[in-house]
Amino acid sequence: MPQAKGEHGTMTDSSLLARAAEIAQSVLAGDLRLGARLIRDLDDQTVLAELILRQLWPHTGRAFILGVTGNPGAGKSTVVDSLIAYYRKAGKRVGVVAIDPSSPFSGGAILGDRIRMQRHALDDGVFIRSLASRGHLGGLSRSTGEIVAVLDAMGFEVVIIETVGVGQGEVDVVALADTKVVVTVPGLGDEVQAIKAGILEIADVLVVNKADREGADRTVRDLLTMLELRHVEEPHGPESPSSEVEIIRTVAVRGEGIGELAAAIARNQEKTAGLAAERRARRARRELRDALLDRCAQRVEQVLSRHADWVDQVQRREIDPYSIAERLLVELLGGTRL
Ligand SMILES: Nc1nc2c(ncn2[C@@H]2O[C@H](COP(=O)(O)OP(=O)(O)OP(=O)(O)O)[C@@H](O)[C@H]2O)c(=O)[nH]1
Ligand SMILES: [Mg+2]
């Protein structure tokens, strides 16, 4: 077991484990403050946080995970805010992970999303966490997965992941949600082209938000044409047969169309229930892969810092990096820990 950092630095392994078990129990019992703290500590990758997460793991896998993605500024947060209100009325507790691609510090993201979803700030049945995707190079999927796991263990029945569909990382994060909603708006010129390739393909439900604006009809028509073309091209499409993708118009700022959107989401959930096991298997595989890659990356850094001599040799062209990499692999994977 690695050494604990920070305030727990002097704790023995067994007292750290006991502390982890205690906190895990409180988080499972719904302690929001400890849940929030755990999410922050996971971001800092503390040993205690990981020990707690290990204890929570058996209690995860129950939440309905909803992915919301689409054009920047399309109104995703406003749609999510309205959906939160809808699910709260239905008595469901809702957790949200909003991923902000631009801000280097999560401070920016937290501010923007808090303002958008402010009315839920005092509701114990709502938990909103923003995550800056910058600074999570390659680890975005792991970080999001961990937060979703905590919210799931805390008993939030619906967990919404909001992310701008700009980078492959962001798309990947949403791709494994139970139901994927893609939000677009009229007036972007060619809407279908304006959405990054690859995003429309994952949509289970398409939303034309800002339907109060000029051109909503045309956008709906364009999307329909696109869906029909796709249906012709791949009649036996994968998980979401194109013909079954619904298009919903919303004016999220006024809450219009949100009931219809929630109904479309519920229909998709029902329709794809038979595929849930397959989806969960894919998610489990990625969770394991993320955890593995993360540890490999850490160990690579450790090994490299112990072997400055290797770096020197490569720099002097005495040995090539490929041979060293092979040796490194042996050191990493041949160790007794695996
Ligand atoms: N006219 C109109 N404006 C809307 C509607 N929904 C959202 N907006 C406005 O669009 C702007 C962007 O809304 P957000 O909800 O922050 O959009 P977003 O997609 O989450 O934005 P990013 O996360 O920054 O990509 C805000 O000023 C909203 O008030 C709508 O239905 N009609
Ligand atoms: Mg947003």
Domain spans of the chain, in order of start: 6-57, 60-274, 285-333
Give the pLDDT of residue 272.
87
pLDDT per position as a tens digit, 53-68:
999 999 999 999 999 9
Give the pLDDT of residue 135.
59
Ligand nearest 187 Cα, by number?
1
Question: Of 77, 78, 82, 84, which is best to mutate to test ligand 1, by the most ligand atoms within 8 angstroms of its C-beta?
Answer: 78
pLDDT per position as a tens digit, 81-93:
999 999 999 999 9
Give the pLDDT of residue 242.
47
Top CATH class, 60-274:
alpha beta
- Residue 133 backbone phi and psi in degrees, to 5: -75, -25
Give the pLDDT of residue 168.
72
How many angstroms separate the Cα of 205 from the Cα of each of 23, 113, 168, 273?
38, 23, 20, 15
- The amino acid at residue 215 is G
Which residues have C-beta under 5 Å from ligand 2, the single-atom ion? 76-77
187 lines ligand 1 (CB under 6 A): no
Give the pLDDT of residue 58.
96
Q: Which three-class secondary structure state does DSSP give residue 214?
A: coil
Q: Is the separation of the CB atoms in 97 and 161 below 8 Å?
A: yes
Q: How far is the centre of ligand 2, averaged over its atoms, from the C-alpha of 30 (Å)?
A: 26
The pTM of this model reads 0.85
164 lines ligand 1 (CB under 6 A): yes
73 lines ligand 1 (CB under 6 A): yes
Q: How far is the centre of ligand 1, averaged over its atoms, from the C-alpha of 213 (Å)?
A: 12
Nearest ligand 1 atom to the CA of 164 is 25
93 lines ligand 1 (CB under 6 A): no
64, 97, 85: which is closest to 270 by C-alpha?
Answer: 64
Q: How far is the centre of ligand 2, averaged over its atoms, from the C-alpha of 104 (Å)?
A: 15
Q: How far is the centre of ligand 2, averaged over its atoms, from the C-alpha of 111 (Å)?
A: 11
* Number of other CB atoms surrounding residue 95 within 10 Å: 26
d(CA 294, CA 84): 32
Q: What DSSP element (H or E) covers 100? A: strand 94-100
Nearest ligand 1 atom to the CA of 81 is 15
- Residue 192 backbone phi and psi in degrees, to 5: -65, -40
* Number of other CB atoms surrounding residue 66 within 10 Å: 27
> pLDDT per position in the chain (338 positions), as tens?
444 444 555 567 889 999 999 999 999 998 999 999 999 999 888 999 999 999 999 999 999 999 999 888 899 999 999 999 999 999 999 999 998 765 444 344 444 555 566 677 778 899 998 887 765 555 778 889 999 999 999 999 999 999 887 667 777 888 889 999 999 999 776 555 556 566 778 899 999 999 999 999 998 998 888 888 776 666 555 544 445 899 999 999 999 999 999 999 999 999 988 888 888 899 899 889 888 888 888 888 888 898 899 999 999 999 999 998 888 788 777 655 54
